[in-house]
Structure 1
């Protein structure tokens, strides 16, 4: 019986290998399976987000501790390059363009000597807008009432507090002075 199945197995190996090899071509450049079904891509965020506002606060002559307070701990603080801190940031988020930035802080002893910042460093609002994949439909919701709307609201009714009745044993004591 196994002698009869050998030719059949051999004839199925080549089509199976071709089918497996073609799996990679089923996903297009737009991350869709066969151009139809969108694939889920895990969000990968690495490093520290350094915005233009934070980078502007860093000045030459600052101590290492002051730089760390503003920018956070560096992604790379190498033993062999003790006077160099690398702040690397990368993000891959589905529906948003991938981003990668690298900032380098050079120290001389404990003081900041130079801070290399890329020219395309975004502001905080620009960064949030670049990774925001939520696109609301219609107008954004109203978050506050106007004074006229606030005045038109009914006043809350406050119930009268219940009368407190004495509880427990009550005794009548004679006056202390006569």
Structure 2
């Protein structure tokens, strides 16, 4: 019995006319690969807003928190961004911010994509197609029903008007 199973299993790789059964199965069935994104996405537009002399908090507002803020190099912040996504090329970018006290002294960066280029680089093609329209046309706006008129405000003083909603009675918090 055991020898028969071994013979059958070893025969799967011995087909001289084409790829083995294992190769054909792996070509159709591929394992799921998760997207791995680390760090902050920093685009060219974001980096253009950063100026030397800005405080640490201003730089943090524009670029986000640094991935590496080393205690031994307190005047250096490193922004590293990596993405591994099935169907797209691996991407890695680095930005280094050097401070003198609380003010930004210099900024070193890899070539950064624009926001549009970045989105296109991570698009795997699944979202290709007709882009939904997010605004109504003038004809669609005119076709909308008119808003209902608001009820006229009461002219009686607030004390004379009945309370809105039913009166509520609450049980005592403590029992005697």
The one of 125, 130, 139 aligned to 1:148: 139
Tell me how far apart the structure 1 counterparts of residues 106 and 25 of structure 2 sit (CA, whole Å): 47
Aligned CA distance change for structure 1 residues 36 and 115 (closer, same or farther; 3 Å): same
The answer to whether residue 114 in structure 2 is matched with residue 123 in structure 1 is yes
- Cα RMSD of the aligned pairs, angstroms, is 3.3
The one of 18, 43, 49 aligned to 2:41: 49
How far is 1:100 from its partner?
0.7
The one of 110, 123, 140 aligned to 1:132: 123
Q: Tell me if the contact between 1:102 and 1:117 (Cα under 8 Å) persists in the aligned partners.
A: yes
SS in 2 for 1:35: helix
Q: Deviations over 1:37-59 (max 9, x none)?
A: 23210111111111111111111
How far is 1:154 from its partner?
7.6
Q: Which sections of structure 1, spanning at least 5 residues, go unmatched?
A: 1-7, 20-25, 162-178
TM-score by length of 2: 0.63
- Residue pairs, 1:75-86, within 5 angstroms: 75-86=67-78
SS in 1 for 2:27: coil
Q: How many residues are treated as equivalent by the alignment?
A: 136
How far is 1:141 from its partner?
3.8
Q: Deviations over 1:87-122 (max 9, x none)?
A: 011111122222111100111121111100112x01
Q: Which sections of structure 2, spanning at least 5 residues, go unmatched?
A: 14-21, 152-176
- Residue pairs, 1:60-99, within 5 angstroms: 60-99=52-91
The structure with the larger Rg is 1
